Structure 1
């Protein structure tokens, strides 16, 4: 058994529908908790529309590679293609952290699955929803999520807006 934190994002097509479908599918794979949806500006060098993001916590009989495989299955079900790095997408699912049943974090420097996620600590669209979901959360080797959010540019944090309240 392991526990994983997944970050989900979509900015093409029916963004909310893609996220809700993925979150519904996660119920069959040990969904423990999920954040509300947040609208966020795109991240990275490619011009694109805003994202909807969410964070989910799952627990089940998978190892880290198994959680990555599930992330890819969810992306494929949403019609994800991978032509442009950091480009627009119908669904993006990142494995942020994986911990064993004893709470020990899985550490990996595999280029296909670096754990914890190498840029999660600098991404408000991951940290803000995760913090609202679990105020005691910590990112292995980086510290408490609350402290990581406090260290971000306040404008980046303010740009992560609860979407459920907008529509």
Structure 2
């Protein structure tokens, strides 16, 4: 059974169509906006909209969007087991670039997770500014890897180094 209270509802007081009231929005359902004279009324209307949407989706055989898990539910710490050759390769590139292995891995993961593309909103990242690096494997001739630095502060400005 779906629990509407697991969804992310924000309620704010504001001026809407020339009238002061409370607006409730559901993060997982961006088209849902409910208005009430009180905070509680707007919140209850949003819960009702979530339940109604879920019933309509079920009736039509569609999948209801799942509640978004808050970033506070994650510690930011991950322990990985790597193949020795991969560990050596990552440590070597980090050393060549003058950064810690941890920072290098965060950079690479950030790049592949979309941070370099600006695909994660600053609200979700709470002001996280990453510089991501994308490394190409060395050629058989032993040439140094190529590095492309991308900053989330300006996704259009990508600087490439060879």
Compute the TM-score of the two structures, normalised by the length of structure 1: 0.25
Larger radius of gyration: 2
Greater share of helix residues, 1 or 2?
A: 2
Compare relative contact order (CA 8 Å, sep 6+) and give the higher one, 1 or 2.
Answer: 1
